[in-house]
Structure 1
Amino acid sequence: MSMSWAHVRFMLERARGLVRRGLASLRTRGLGPTWARVRRQFARRAPPASEPLYFPDAGAFQPFAVPASDAPRTSIVIPVYNQAAHTLACLRALAEHPPTAACEIIVVDDGSHDETHAWMPQIAGLRYHRRAVNGGFIAACNDGASRATGDCLVFLNNDTVPQPGWLDALLATFDAHPEVGLVGAQLIYPDGRLQEAGGVVFNDGSAWNYGRFDSPDDPRYASVRDADYCSGAAIAVRATLFEEVGGFDTRYAPAYYEDTDLAFALRALGHRVLYQPASRVVHLEGVTSGTDTGSGTKAYQVRNRSVFAEKWAAALATHPSADSLPSAGSVVQPQRQILIIDAETPRPQQDSASLRLANLMRLLNADGAHVVFLPADLRYAGDDTARLRQLGVEAWHAPFVQRPSAWLREHGHRFDVVMLSRHYVATEFLPLVRRFAPQARVVFDTVDLHFLREMRGAELAGDAALRHAAERTRERELSVIRASDTTLVVSPAERDMLSALLPGADVEVLANLHEVAHTGLPFGQRHDLVFVGGFRHPPNVDAVLWFGREVFPLIHVRQPDIRFHCIGTAPPADVLALQAQPGIMIHGHVADLGPYMDGARVAVAPLRFGAGVKGKVNLSMAHGQPVVATACAVEGMHLTSGHDVLVADDAAGFADAVLTLYRDEELWERLAAHGRANIEQHFSMEAAHGTVQRVFRR
């Protein structure tokens, strides 16, 4: 009964919030854009569309070729003992979907007496080695590794069907995480059920295939994660490290526990062992050795457990007991677990708030925390969700979350910190968090002070109704701040404002987070002006309309060759209409901003109202692109006009500043250098490290 009331209360607050925001949107955006937002809010939440599993044709043997290289980055070692048909299917899969990375494929025949010896020599590009006598899985793998020439070793069972992209995903993990020693694939049964999402080892040496028989798309198993071990059916390991630990330990011969032992040995050297869900491999499991641990080779699994437990007794002492099955919370212990809830999944390619949030999650992961993300809209966001998961974020969505109240009741006990972004999200979720995660520290991330932005917009429009709505937003926002343990703002100016309004509040500044990029093209090779900002944000609409109607015509008449590139998602009709003016180009969403950051000479930020720190200014400065802005656009950003930015608030002054900067190479170089220095000092990942530690480690 209590659970029902929690959900009802949550839904009532959500309904009130949607009505409030809908009315505010009608006043500021009009009917068309508001209706588009409503449709987007209530669109059907489609589950992720998993690619159907790929299986090669099972026709009679015919000679074919597999990928091969004289200078491979990776060596794929496939130990085989009979089961020629399965080996053939595995090799056909490698041939039909070759990896991008240069590779060699080594089949080590451990004394087969079926068609293996007849078929393998006919496969072009394959390195085939036939052992004189059967020595077992470990001996065959070590033999293959000794013949490999790649920097990375990949051990692949012959009873597998690697899915397209599997190897490139494994290798990309090493590129993204230099401290990693071993990466394991997601193993899937032929019927599509999950076989293993990394392994869990208990304190008695026994092990568990995490996720067995569940959906491979379940968020618990869909993110990059540290694992106790990964099954040797499909793992990648740095060749130098494999040699350093002496290969697979022969005390486990002929097979079983050698992969678990390897993971522990690499971790003892200071290297991570990661599970990579983007690398999918179908595994038939038990084709060669069966599944009966009472007889045959499989019996060594029982014997080797005690061998392993004795060797790694000290390390196992910190592992959990086998009394209960692993859960999403237990498999990442003893890491701090941090839940972040925002309105929707961040889209770093589209808006600065998303980039800030994604970079914050990167910082938290780098600091040793495990981050869980829940979008309030519960929508699966395709590539944006996938990108979070590759960062190591456990990203949830429908249909795996049906009701936030039920999800928090199940998972709330996991979290040390819960961060709620935006006041309307926090208003809905705070009661649930306090009830189901009472142990968690609650951090409220304002993103920017919404009431301040709304108040300035109302003043610019001279609209009493908008002013009244802004006052109501102010009360709601301040109420959330009072109910939270810590509040994050993006600028010292906003912190000082809150200190005056709520002297007892714990307020920290966490500004926009950027990585300083390369400098792009030199002054002489750059041309034109650029603006970047999503048009679901009313200040951006007003800024572009003012610039396009009042400022750019003054620029165009004095230098007609300058073009204005306007980039941002969902430009409304009046913004699109600006294209009728000579020199104005409205691009909408652009997947790759690089050419505009590196090639446009001057960025403009003509904002006439707003709040917080402006990501468009940060973005340009991080790329060494000087900015002309209004005072509102650079508020709280530690910038001085003439030193690292040019500031003007009237149309004529703004046009003069743009043309001066556009024509003066010495000024351009000076502002570019100082702008990059500003990012490094105030808006870089390094600059935020202290604040992140104070807020999320406290």
Structure 2
Amino acid sequence: MIEPRATKVLVIGYVWPEPRSSAASGHVMQILEVFLEQGWDITFSSPAGFGEQRADLTALGIGEVPIELNNSSFDTFISELAPDIVLFDQFMMEEQFGWRVEKYCPDALRVLESCDLQSLRQGRHQRLKERLKASEDNNDFSGLFAPASREEFEHMANTDLAKREIASFYRCDLTLMVSEVEIELLVEQFRIPRSLLHWCPLMVDLPAGAPVEYEDRAHFLHIGNFRHAPNWDAVLWLKTAIWPLVRAQLPDAQLHIYGAYTPPKATALHNAAQGFHVLNWAEDALQVMSKTRVCLAPLRFGAGIKGKIVDAMLCGTPNVTTPVGAEAMHDQEPWPGAITRTAREFADSAVRLYQDKAQWLVAQAQARHLLSSRYPQSTHGPALIERLIECQRHLPQIRRDNFTGSMLRHHQHKSTQYMAQWIEEKNRNQAHTL
């Protein structure tokens, strides 16, 4: 009897995963772990260069194959690989390689992994810029934190990024979304069929053992990849408005800021006399977080759900954040810390959490409950596999019902194909003249 072969999965990454540098890469790694548990045969490819902190995929049994943009060598590669499922990590990879996948592996299930809704993040960033330009007040940003979904839509709808991103969602057979808030925005405002979306948040299981106790912790912490614009903005707000208010109440307080790819403009903010320490990249973020008393995440814009806050909960570290930071993360559950809208509220909440052991312990317990009720990999992993298998089983019907996606693939893929072929020919001619 011939044994059925394992499902073949090709993941096309925007970058090679760096789970210790970004939540987006961490989510990709969680998905890969779920696939590995099924015994699936996984190949990871990316046109990006190798980063210093990239995960060792080969040690996990995952094949690594670098690929090139605008190069027909990909056509030969994917034809020979013949994957059953192709997962695009971020919509830009679907734009670049989607037409090639459809042409050479038409029966492969095409899945998009969306770490956050980028056009939503861009729209919120633009609103923040307008607010900063219109007012010198660096304290109260509550007006940014309560827009209706229709208002969010109106800030996004006319942008090129939104049109590209939403079109990519339509062209795929399924899109994985980390945020239920973003799912509702897509369904209610952009009219994307709910059947094309699947809620797949960060997937973690509770760590064994008790967290570090209150008395054995010290200092405040902020952590985040500096290449991610919301993290850099959060550091600026901390420096200019929030941290001086904290130090006014706790003169000896220390804030430790960690982040991958720390630029000179960030290290220039370091000031030991003010207790404001910019410490570059953390070798082990969870270890650092476990020794910290309070995590600060003053996000004025952003999208998706926040890996730094999930990490804080895993470590039993209460956090202070904004409505943007807490968005789509707790549903109706109590927040493990504080959600604030102004610099003054943020600073006062941070100081109270730091000093009040009873409040701190309540927040820690709430974090544990929230993780177990909302983020268990043991729940979301099987749900993801079940959804992918269901989509494979009904793929002809899914594509027939998604006429908008079929129409967009017809037009966009033709234009992308011709542009890619023109660039490839241009590159070939240039190489010949050298």
The aligned counterpart of 1:527 is 218
Describe the superposition over 1:127-164 as per-residue Cα deviations: whole angstroms up to 9, x where unpaired: xxxxxxxxxxxxxxxxxxxxxxxxxxxxxxxxxxxxxx
The aligned counterpart of 1:650 is 342
CA contact (8 A) 1:532 1:568 kept: yes
* Amino acid in structure 2 at the alignment position of 1:578: L
Q: 1:446/1:481 Cα in 2 relative to 1: closer, same or farther (>3 Å)?
A: same
Q: Note the residue ranges of structure 2 that are not aligned, 5 or more in a row.
A: 134-154, 391-434
- Asked if 1:375 is matched to 2:46, the reply is yes
- Asked if 1:419 is matched to 2:99, the reply is no
CA contact (8 A) 1:337 1:369 kept: yes
The aligned counterpart of 1:409 is 76
* Amino acid in structure 2 at the alignment position of 1:481: F
| Structure 2 residue matching 1:687: 3-state secondary structure | helix
How far apart are residue 434 of structure 1 and its match?
Answer: 0.7
The correspondence for 2:328, drawn from 636, 639, 650, is 636
The correspondence for 2:114, drawn from 446, 452, 458, is 446
How far apart are residue 650 of structure 1 and its match?
Answer: 0.3
| Structure 2 residue matching 1:578: 3-state secondary structure | coil
CA contact (8 A) 1:529 1:600 kept: yes
CA contact (8 A) 2:286 2:311 kept: no
| Structure 1 residue matching 2:270: 3-state secondary structure | helix
What does 1:38-77 correspond to in 2, within 5 Å?
none
Describe the superposition over 1:219-264 as per-residue Cα deviations: whole angstroms up to 9, x where unpaired: xxxxxxxxxxxxxxxxxxxxxxxxxxxxxxxxxxxxxxxxxxxxxx
Q: 1:408/1:673 Cα in 2 relative to 1: closer, same or farther (>3 Å)?
A: farther
What does 1:201-350 correspond to in 2, within 5 Å?
317-318=1-2, 334-350=5-21
Q: Note the residue ranges of structure 1 that are not aligned, 5 or more in a row.
A: 1-316, 320-332
How far apart are residue 666 of structure 1 and its match?
Answer: 1.4
CA contact (8 A) 1:602 1:661 kept: yes
CA contact (8 A) 1:358 1:388 kept: no
Identity %: 25
How far apart are residue 415 of structure 1 and its match?
Answer: 1.0
What does 1:91-130 correspond to in 2, within 5 Å?
none
What does 1:428-443 correspond to in 2, within 5 Å?
428-443=96-111
How many aligned residue pairs are there? 363
- Asked if 1:659 is matched to 2:351, the reply is yes
How many angstroms apart in 2 are the aligned matches of 1:691 and 1:434? Answer: 26
- Asked if 1:384 is matched to 2:54, the reply is yes
CA contact (8 A) 1:643 1:670 kept: no
How many angstroms apart in 2 are the aligned matches of 1:542 and 1:460? Answer: 10
How far apart are residue 569 of structure 1 and its match?
Answer: 1.4
- Asked if 1:502 is matched to 2:194, the reply is no
Describe the superposition over 1:611-634 as per-residue Cα deviations: whole angstroms up to 9, x where unpaired: 000111011101111111111001
- Asked if 1:621 is matched to 2:313, the reply is yes
How many angstroms apart in 2 are the aligned matches of 1:628 and 1:639? Answer: 17
How far apart are residue 403 of structure 1 and its match?
Answer: 7.0
The aligned counterpart of 1:115 is none
How far apart are residue 693 of structure 1 and its match?
Answer: 1.4
How many angstroms apart in 1 are the aligned matches of 2:193 and 2:340? Answer: 37
The aligned counterpart of 1:45 is none
The aligned counterpart of 1:247 is none
- Greater CA drift, 469-478 or 430-439: 469-478
Instruction: Give the superposed CA RMSD.
Output: 2.3
How far apart are residue 492 of structure 1 and its match?
Answer: 0.7
| Structure 2 residue matching 1:415: 3-state secondary structure | coil
Describe the superposition over 1:571-622 as per-residue Cα deviations: whole angstroms up to 9, x where unpaired: 3344323213610110111212243211100011100000000111011101
| Structure 1 residue matching 2:226: 3-state secondary structure | coil
Describe the superposition over 1:481-512 as per-residue Cα deviations: whole angstroms up to 9, x where unpaired: 11111111111101111112134251111111
How far apart are residue 544 of structure 1 and its match?
Answer: 0.9
CA contact (8 A) 1:364 1:692 kept: no
Q: 1:462/1:403 Cα in 2 relative to 1: closer, same or farther (>3 Å)?
A: closer
The aligned counterpart of 1:558 is 249
CA contact (8 A) 1:601 1:662 kept: yes
- Asked if 1:549 is matched to 2:240, the reply is yes
| Structure 2 residue matching 1:527: 3-state secondary structure | coil
Q: Which has the higher contact order (CA 8 A, sep 6+)?
A: 2
Bigger fraction of residues in helix: 2
* Amino acid in structure 2 at the alignment position of 1:498: L
- Asked if 1:670 is matched to 2:354, the reply is no
| Structure 1 residue matching 2:382: 3-state secondary structure | helix
- Greater CA drift, 646-655 or 681-690: 681-690
- Greater CA drift, 629-638 or 678-687: 678-687
| Structure 2 residue matching 1:514: 3-state secondary structure | coil
- Asked if 1:514 is matched to 2:204, the reply is yes
How far apart are residue 639 of structure 1 and its match?
Answer: 5.4
How many angstroms apart in 1 are the aligned matches of 2:249 and 2:306? Answer: 29
CA contact (8 A) 1:629 1:646 kept: yes
Q: 1:673/1:470 Cα in 2 relative to 1: closer, same or farther (>3 Å)?
A: farther
What does 1:342-361 correspond to in 2, within 5 Å?
342-361=13-32
How many angstroms apart in 2 are the aligned matches of 1:460 and 1:383? Answer: 31
- Asked if 1:537 is matched to 2:204, the reply is no
How many angstroms apart in 1 are the aligned matches of 2:379 and 2:363? Answer: 21
* Amino acid in structure 1 at the alignment position of 2:193: G
How many angstroms apart in 2 are the aligned matches of 1:410 and 1:357? Answer: 22
How many angstroms apart in 1 are the aligned matches of 2:39 and 2:252? Answer: 51
Q: 1:423/1:411 Cα in 2 relative to 1: closer, same or farther (>3 Å)?
A: closer
How far apart are residue 520 of structure 1 and its match?
Answer: 3.5
CA contact (8 A) 2:333 2:370 kept: no
How many angstroms apart in 1 are the aligned matches of 2:322 and 2:333? Answer: 10
How far apart are residue 543 of structure 1 and its match?
Answer: 0.7
How far apart are residue 470 of structure 1 and its match?
Answer: 7.5
How far apart are residue 515 of structure 1 and its match?
Answer: 3.8
How many angstroms apart in 2 are the aligned matches of 1:406 and 1:372? Answer: 16
How many angstroms apart in 2 are the aligned matches of 1:508 and 1:651? Answer: 35
How many angstroms apart in 2 are the aligned matches of 1:382 and 1:458? Answer: 31
Describe the superposition over 1:168-205 as per-residue Cα deviations: whole angstroms up to 9, x where unpaired: xxxxxxxxxxxxxxxxxxxxxxxxxxxxxxxxxxxxxx
- Greater CA drift, 387-396 or 597-606: 387-396
| Structure 2 residue matching 1:384: 3-state secondary structure | coil
CA contact (8 A) 1:355 1:513 kept: no
TM-score of the aligned structures, taking structure 1 as reference length = 0.50
| Structure 1 residue matching 2:201: 3-state secondary structure | coil
| Structure 1 residue matching 2:279: 3-state secondary structure | strand
* Amino acid in structure 1 at the alignment position of 2:290: D
Describe the superposition over 1:344-384 as per-residue Cα deviations: whole angstroms up to 9, x where unpaired: 1101111111111111101111022111110132x345773
The aligned counterpart of 1:685 is 377
| Structure 2 residue matching 1:444: 3-state secondary structure | strand
TM-score of the aligned structures, taking structure 2 as reference length = 0.78
